[in-house]
Structure 1
Amino acid sequence: MTQLTITARGVFVIAVTPFHPDGRIDMESCDSMVDFYLEAGATGLTVLGMMGEAPKLTVEESRDVVARILARVAGRVPVVVGVSAPGFAQIKTLTTMVMDLGAAAVMVAPPSSLRTDDQILTYFRQVAELIGDVPFVLQDFPLVTNVQMSAGVIARIVNEHETCVCLKHEDWPGLEKITTLRRDGVLNRRISILCGNGGLFLPEEMARGADGAMTGFAYPEMMTGVVRLFDAGQMDAARDLFDAYLPLARFEQQPGLGLAIRKYVLAKRGVIAHDSLRKPGAALSAQSRQEVDALIARQDARLKELN
């Protein structure tokens, strides 16, 4: 597998981890999920991200899921694997394991214990030394990690470490951060910036200089369509497409329920066999399911108008 580079662009879909109702990993659904994401136009996949229930997997299960997805991808697109963990021993073990399996890069988020700029910079110096020449994605997701990384700190990490090839930008609000990082002289090279938050701000992020998205949404074709239209210079069409999906994307971004909503829709679409979350995990009420169904119906009607 070719390693991830600073030219990464498009949509790297954050893959869910499918489970059977009894909590076993559903490997057959891993296959159908990969097929679906690639047919939707994904230019890459990200596995074991924060919405992939990675902390609920054993190391052996993590290996098996990554191996299954990489086998199904068969080199068609790069696969990034999340290896964030409390300790360096686990990060090193996971990194070696997934790169040996054929991953293109790893993704690392700062642990919530970091408070100062010096602590953040020291942490990523140690990470870069730990994983050697493995390319990594720097995940900036303060709403979950509670670690605030300024544009200046991100720039220092990128400039100090050639192996930092991509920023997963997931600050909120964070548009000014993208603008700052894209200014001449801030970075010593132009790295890939792929954005998160379920694609909620994708048109604005693209306009600010992002290269696409690295996030999940039950309709990844929205994100790939927005990026494709933006690249073609059709910004009004990109926004019209985005607007059709926005109500459901907003609903899916609810903290604590987002993954349950995403899995419900993916199961409803036949992408995965079950909408099960491994415990502990929130389940959707009947009323919430009805609300999702209503949003999908309105979304479908709006898309027919656009077409």
Structure 2
Amino acid sequence: MHRLSGVFPVLPTPFTAEDAVDEAAFRRLIDFAVEAGVDGVVFPGMASEVETLSAAERGQMVAVLGAHLAGRLPFIVGASHADPAESAARAREGMAVGAVCAMIMAPPQAGQDVAKQVAFFTAVADAAPGLVIMLQNAPAPNGAALSPEAVAAVAAAVPAIRYVKEETLPCGQHVTRILAAAQGGLDGVMGGAGARFVLDELARGANGTMPALEIADVHAALWKAWRAGDKAKARRIYTETLPLLLFQMNFRVRATKDVLRRRGLLEHIGARAAGPKFDAGDLAQIGELIATAASCMTMHRPR
């Protein structure tokens, strides 16, 4: 497997007007990601409303992703679960349809105890031979919020862990510390946190970012500019889109889906996830923020 790097957006789960998972809309979003020029995709994750999906729905959509993607891009399957046996089962489910890696959150119930975290990830790896793991280090209460040194220690003890998704604050500093502590023992550290700190992460050695999907073409252009050494262009793109990403921090998947709707990529934008809903003022504000970012969008100009 080639080293994973670049922009790997987390795909949202579209729902029909009747609140069923929408396979047709999901295929359109997969095609958008491919056409946007990203380097891979992730599903399911927190931005997919994974906590609201049944096991059957989750398996159904992972299968749709593998079949429709058909090797056009690598994909990472989300396989987080408190039970290592369940986590391994979800990883195997993804591997069976083409996933090249499983993203698994360091479980909060193991806390800061490195030995417990090692035991958890070892059990997952043992139950899924050949598995490549991306350890997701997320803030509490969803994640364990491990220190960078603890992340590196867990990875060193579990050979299957080749990547880290780091999204505890301050993200940039933590990328630096993980890479220093790992001493070359990882294939890469990717940033999360909605790409709100992406330039700091890249400057500190991150090998990519894993944002939400709504401006995937913009993030692909930013990554391309950064890799080409055009940091001024990368910063311009970042500056023009950051206000929209900050707005998304409050409304999460509802903001993602509304941007995708305005770009003509979603019809129904219902969300199951908990969290604040838009009022009239929010709808006006997001329209203004999308307009600010629109010059960076290379396809599906917002309506």
Tell me whether 1:125 sits opposite 2:122 in the alignment: yes
Amino acid corresponding to residue 77 of structure 2 in structure 1: V
Any idea what the Cα deviations from partners look like across 1:200-251, whole Å, max 9, x if unmatched? 1111111100011112142112221121111111111110111011110111
Q: Which amino acid is the alignment partner of residue 148 of structure 1? A: A
Shift of 1:56: 1.5
Are the aligned partners of 2:196 and 2:246 in contact in 1 as well (CA < 8 Å)? yes
Q: How does 1:125-144 map to 2 (within 5 A)?
A: 125-144=122-141
Equivalent AA in structure 2 for residue 154 of structure 1: V
Structure 1 stretch 124-133 or stretch 97-106: which is displaced more? 124-133
Q: 2:286 aligns with which of 292, 295, 303?
A: 292
Contact map agreement 2:133 2:161 (CA 8 A) in 1:
yes
Structure 1, residues 123-146: CA drift from partner, whole Å, max 9, x if none? 223222232321111001114525
Give yes or no for the alignment of 1:113 onto 2:109: yes
Tell whether 2:265 aligns with 1:250.
Answer: no
Judge conservation of contact 2:84–2:120 (CA < 8 Å) in 1: no
Aligned pairs, how many?
Answer: 297
- Structure 1 distance, partners of 2:60, 2:187, is 31
> What does residue range 78-157 of structure 1 map to in structure 2 within 5 Å?
78-115=74-111, 116-157=113-154
Does the CA contact (< 8 Å) of 2:82 and 2:109 recur in 1?
A: no
Of 127-136 and 34-43, the range deviating more from structure 2: 127-136
Separation in 1 of the partners of 2:36 and 2:157? 36
Hey, what does 1:274 align to over in structure 2?
268
Distance in structure 1 (CA, Å) of the matches to 2:108 and 2:82: 9
Looking at structure 2, the residues matched to 109 and 98 of structure 1 have their Cα atoms a distance apart, in angstroms, of 16
Alpha carbons of structure 1 residues 249 and 221: separation in structure 2 relative to 1, 3 Å: same
Partner of 1:162: 159
Instruction: Find the counterpart in structure 1 of residue 301 from structure 2.
Output: none
229 and 248 in structure 1: CA distance in 2 versus 1, 3 angstrom threshold: same
Amino acid in structure 1 at the alignment position of 2:293: Q
* SS across alignment from 1:165: strand
TM-score by length of 2: 0.91
CA positional deviation for 1:284: 2.1
Higher mean displacement: 150-159 or 133-142: 150-159
Amino acid at match of 1:273: E
- The runs of 5 or more residues in structure 1 that have no matched partner are none
From the superposition, tell whether residues 125 and 239 of structure 1 become closer, same or farther in structure 2 (CA, over 3 Å). Answer: same
TM-score normalized by the length of structure 1: 0.90
